Amino acid sequence: MAVELYSFKEIEKIRRACQVVVEVLEALKRSIKPGMSTHELDMIAREETKKRGAKPAFLGYKPPFSDDRFPASLCVSVNEAVVHGLPKKEILIKEGDIVSLDFGAFFEGYAGDSAITVAVGEVSKEKELLMMATKEALEEAVKVCLPGNWVSDIVDVIYRVAKKYGLYPLKNLGGHGIGRKVHEEPFIPNHPETFRQERKDYKLRQGMVLALEPMLSLGTDEISHNGDRWTVVTADGSPAAHYEYVVAVTKQGPMVLTEFKDG
């Protein structure tokens, strides 16, 4: 499958979908508190999306790795959960947790996708470092989204920042193209070994729109599953963090389409 290239007009439409996603994530960040279930967060996400005339992108989504459709609108991945965390009534948020909120939406025919990790109350110094470093990996990855660079440059940057802090990018996961669909080519691995297995590099071009989403952990680069068929966890149970921005590759430089008020 070819990589889609988008016009500036289309990029503005993707930006509007991303804006809905950012607003929903900001509403979730304001609402999250100890004692709340991850299912409640999913309900808030649905309500906030509806208010804005958009549609959740993950609800009913069938990814290539699953025979099932995702039954929620929001992925909530707490502590050792990395991504694809299935919201549940029995998972209660508590003080000291770090919670990855990953949300996607369609608005007027285009998709937005973004993720943030939220610290609930006071968290450990290690978790704070993990969050800071994962965000730094994302911000550094954005800077190399220039025409003429390669997907492998993004892979290298994420790895370099992870290693600088003694952290681990998780294997078999990564970012993706986005636009009319929420997941498009190219796949953007977070780990160099996963990149080598893919045996495919892509040159970045004007008009590519990429969702970059580094996921780093404190103790391992190996992933496992927790048994609910969705939630991906670290193999050693150590905490993981996850941030995701959408960026358009343009001759004027990287254009971030997911703009958060608090950075």
> Least separation, in Å, of the C-beta of 95 and Mg ion?
26
> Least separation, in Å, of the C-beta of 209 and Mg ion?
12
Q: And the tokens for 62?
A: 């069938």
Q: How far apart are the first and last CA of the chain?
A: 34
Task: Rule CB under 5 A: choose which of 244, 246, 247, 249 binds Mg ion.
Answer: 244
**The Cα angle at residue 218 between residues 212 and 221, in degrees rounded to 5:** 65
Q: Which is nearer to Mg ion, 236 or 257 (CB)?
A: 257
Residue 10 binding Mg ion, by CB under 5 A: no
> Least separation, in Å, of the C-beta of 239 and Mg ion?
19
Q: Which is nearer to Mg ion, 42 or 102 (CB)?
A: 102
Q: How far apart are CA 173 and CA 120, in angstroms?
A: 25
Q: Which residues of 129-168 are buried (b: 16+ CB within 10 A; e: fewer)?
A: bbbebbbbbbbbbbebbeeebebbbbbebbbebbeebebb
User: Contact, 170 vs 191, CB < 8 A?
Assistant: yes
Residue 115 binding Mg ion, by CB under 5 A: yes
Residue 184 binding Mg ion, by CB under 5 A: no
Residue 211 binding Mg ion, by CB under 5 A: yes
Binding window for Mg ion (CB under 5 A); candidates: 145-153, 162-170, 201-209, 236-244:
236-244
How many of the chain's residues bind Mg ion (CB under 5 A)?
5
Q: And the tokens for 127?
A: 């978790």
Residue 102 binding Mg ion, by CB under 5 A: yes
> Least separation, in Å, of the C-beta of 176 and Mg ion?
6
Q: How far apart are CA 22 and CA 16, in angstroms?
A: 10
Does the bond joining 254 to the residue before it have cis omega, within 30 degrees of 0? Answer: no
Residues in the chain: 263
Task: Rule CB under 5 A: choose which of 23, 113, 136, 221 binds Mg ion.
Answer: 113
| Residue whose CB is nearest to Mg ion in the complex, by number | 102
Q: Which is nearer to Mg ion, 40 or 244 (CB)?
A: 244
Residues at the contact surface with Mg ion, assessed by CB under 5 A: 102, 113, 115, 211, 244
